Structure 1
Amino acid sequence: MKKILVVLTNTIKYLGTQQATGLWLGEATEFVDEVTKVGFSVDYVSPKGGFVPLDPRSFKYTDKSTMDIYSSPDFQQRALTNSLKPEEINPKDYLAIYYTGGHGVMWDFPTNQKLQQITNDIYQQGGFVTSVCHGIAGLLNVKDDSGNYLITGKKITGFTTTEEILAGKRKVVPFLNEDVAKLHGADFQKKRAYKEFAIQDGQLITGQNPFSARAVAKLLIKNKN
């Protein structure tokens, strides 16, 4: 089994505003580029399935590999147009789950119980639970079989409060990932704002910001090869 489940958002705009948001493109493509070139395959899922919007700002930070994947019919169809619904996922098919970011995830990742169950199932079967940037929102409320938060006592990272302020989105996000992670008992780690940083604690691998997707992928590859 060499399959990874990539989680994407369906949120089109910051709630209460007309500002566009969605998937931060590179957080999906850079990770996918790294894992597929060493033989892993990926499936794409979103809370509702179907259409996945893109954060227009993310196009400012693209490289050739990102544009190659974005241009591919496979990515356009399976990720952006026809992403799977959680009900269509069998956790036993996957060795890891990876939560991408983009501000949209702040609204549809934290409360999706079906994705939380998939995440815990993958974790309990020995798989890896991974995220980058705002994608940590998908991990915050996941509980293990004993009813404890999966992140309690674990070293993790994600988009920091400082980075949220620098991004100018502090007042429009529904919560701060760093605050909730600490509230749920995580040992939240961080480095300089907008610098690559990824950390592993057992089966959890997390990256701080949009520039950390490849680092998350490389840590995962290191463990599974």
Structure 2
Amino acid sequence: MTKKILVVETNVANFAGTNHLTGLWLGESAEFVATVQAAGLAVDYVSPNGGYVPLDPRSMKPNYVDDNTLRTYLTHDYQTRALANTLKTNQVNPDDYVALYFTGGHGVMFDFPNNLELQALVKTVYGNGGYLCTVCHGIAGLLNVKLADGNYLIAGKKVTGFTTSEELLSGNSKRVPFLNEKVATSHGAQFVKERPFKSFAVQDGQLITGQNPASPQAVADQLLTNLQA
């Protein structure tokens, strides 16, 4: 049976209370998907509400779209399953997946952190020995998950994600509801990082996290190394 990965995407198209557009950062989904599919893994897509996933318009600029991202984006499968008609959380069986992958884009800051259905998927996959992968703002999907003992899942773990300095450089530090680095640290994680916008991923056990939009390839490569071991 082909191993499957569940890719988690946002439904949020704008920063709350503003007309400033956001959504899924295309490359953080498509580049990761291109890499794992090339290795023979199957992919499903889920979002908190199911259905349509908006793209952050900035992520469509040519300098952010590499060949793998473009090739994946242009396929009928990706257009339909990843962007037009994602699954709802109640339509997926977490036992089917060897890994969850939380994509980024600022939209996830609003619909990932406190979604109990996503947290249930996380805990089941983790409990089954599966991998929890994130990139950039996608770390928000793990920040508030608590295990049966009441401790945060990320407590005592090395993780990374979009840093406070990167948030300042992006010009969105006043628009986001919280700062990933700050919350991760307050929940007991050891937040590690490289210089802004440099590809970087870190693994701690079943957690594989990437820092920024330059990092989905690094996350995918690290996941594949584990799955092929």
User: TM-score normalised to the size of structure 2?
Assistant: 0.97
Query: What are the superposed Cα offsets for residues 121-162 of structure 1, whole Å, 9 maximum, x if unpaired?
Result: 000000000100000000101122222111000000000000
Q: Counterpart in 1 of 2:201?
A: 198
Shift of residue 113, structure 1, vs aligned partner: 0.4
Aligned letter for 1:159? Answer: F
Q: Deviations over 1:60-97 (max 9, x none)?
A: 20012111111111011111111000011101000000
What fraction of aligned residue pairs are identical, expressed as a percent? 60
Which residue in the other structure is 2:213 paired with?
210
Show the 5 A alignment for 1:130-141: 130-141=133-144
Correspondence for 1:122: 125
- What 5-or-longer segments of structure 2 have no aligned partner? none
Amino acid in the other structure paired with 1:121: T
Deviates more, 1:141-150 or 1:38-47: 141-150
Match runs of 1:1-150 below 5 Å: 1-60=2-61, 61-150=64-153
Q: Which amino acid aligns with 2:74?
A: S
Residue 75 of structure 1 aligns with an amino acid whose one-letter code is Y
> Following the alignment from structure 1 to structure 2, what is the Cα–Cα distance between the partners of residues 147 and 5?
25
Give the match's secondary structure for 1:139: helix
How large is the RMSD of aligned CA atoms in angstroms?
Answer: 0.7
Segments of structure 1 that go 5 or more residues without pairing to the other structure are none
CA distance in 2, matches of 1:81, 1:57: 19
Q: Which of 169, 173, 179 is the matching residue for 2:172?
A: 169
Q: Distance in 1 between matches of 2:172 and 2:204?
A: 29
SS of residue matched to 1:211: coil
TM-score normalized by the length of structure 1 = 0.99
Shift >4 Å, 4+ stretches: none
In the alignment of these two chains, the number of paired residues is 225
